[in-house]
């Protein structure tokens, strides 16, 4: 049996079920990518809350798994070649879980890379831009007298939504007619933008009806509804 104690993080977050995949996360847009994917695939897993309020992410235990002190991170006791695998970065985790299960990533090479390019689009564009808009619209940045930073990120967020709107005019989902990890990567951020960040008016979300419809279809999936609340 896998010995979880070989990973220092388990001293702070003991594994009650060491035979299951261990998830260290919070229900943020990046965090729920992993929980939604795990719910979608049905892989057995155990979740551990990394509480930012108490700086869990800066603890030596967590940094031993993820030196970048972000969430999510995982330990899979049944990784490649039957050996345990520790992994961080939400995009990498999505790709890994898709390849592990053979789900939500096309099996043909062209389709696979087509989906992965849209995951990278989210990682390099939508996540950083929507996150900065959230800071300048909802958090400390909203007190800044100079509104040019907010407007800069609002404009770029609108542009990115426009890219999604065009793509969703061609297909039911972002990478094609099948639901993939590109959708699991992207729609938690869209959901957060118009929900938690309350920035729908700022980006003119009403002007993107295809994005709205796809977001509703995403939310309607049972695995998404569950994953959005994990860890509770």
Class of domain 4-101: alpha beta
Element (H, E) at 73: strand 73-76
Q: Residue 48 pairs with which residues in a beta bridge?
A: 24
Answer whether CATH 1.20.1050.10 is correct for domain 109-221: yes
Span(s) in the chain for CATH 1.20.1050.10: 109-221
pLDDT score at 2: 74
Q: Residue 22 pairs with which residues in a beta bridge?
A: 46, 75
Per-residue pLDDT of the chain (232 residues; tens, 9 = 90+): 678 778 999 999 999 999 999 999 999 999 999 999 999 999 999 999 999 999 999 999 999 999 999 999 999 999 999 999 999 999 999 999 999 999 999 999 999 999 999 999 999 999 999 999 999 999 989 899 999 999 999 999 999 999 999 999 999 999 999 999 999 999 999 999 999 999 999 999 999 999 999 999 999 999 999 999 999 8
Report helix, strand or coil for 210: helix
The encoded tokens of residue 113 equal 């890379």
Q: How many Å apart are CA 141 and CA 157, to the nearest integer?
A: 16
pLDDT score at 3: 81
Span(s) in the chain for CATH 3.40.30.10: 4-101
Q: How many Å apart are CA 39 and CA 51, to the nearest integer?
A: 21
């Amino acid at each position: 049996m896998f010995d979880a104690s070989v990973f220092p993080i388990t001293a702070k977050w003991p594994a009650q079920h060491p035979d299951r995949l261990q998830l260290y996360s919070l229900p943020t847009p990046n965090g729920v990518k992993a929980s939604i994917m795990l719910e979608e695939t049905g892989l057995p897993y155990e979740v551990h809350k990394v509480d930012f309020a108490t700086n869990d992410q800066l603890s030596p235990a967590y940094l031993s798994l993820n030196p970048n002190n972000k969430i999510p991170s995982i330990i899979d006791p049944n990784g490649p070649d039957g050996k345990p695998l520790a992994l961080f970065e939400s995009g990498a985790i999505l790709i890994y879980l898709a390849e592990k299960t053979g789900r939500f990533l096309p099996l043909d090479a062209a389709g696979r890379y087509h989906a992965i390019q849209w995951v990278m689009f989210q990682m390099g564009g939508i996540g950083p831009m929507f996150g900065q808009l959230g800071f300048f619209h909802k958090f400390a940045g909203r007190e800044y007298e100079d509104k040019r930073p907010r407007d800069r990120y609002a404009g770029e967020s609108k542009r990115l939504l426009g890219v999604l709107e065009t793509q969703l005019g061609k297909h039911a989902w972002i990478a094609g007619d099948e639901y993939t990890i590109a959708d699991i990567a992207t729609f938690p951020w869209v959901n957060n933008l118009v929900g938690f960040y309350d920035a729908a008016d700022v980006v003119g979300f009403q002007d993107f009806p295809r994005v709205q419809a796809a977001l509703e279809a995403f939310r309607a999936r049972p695995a998404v509804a569950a994953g959005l609340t994990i860890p509770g």
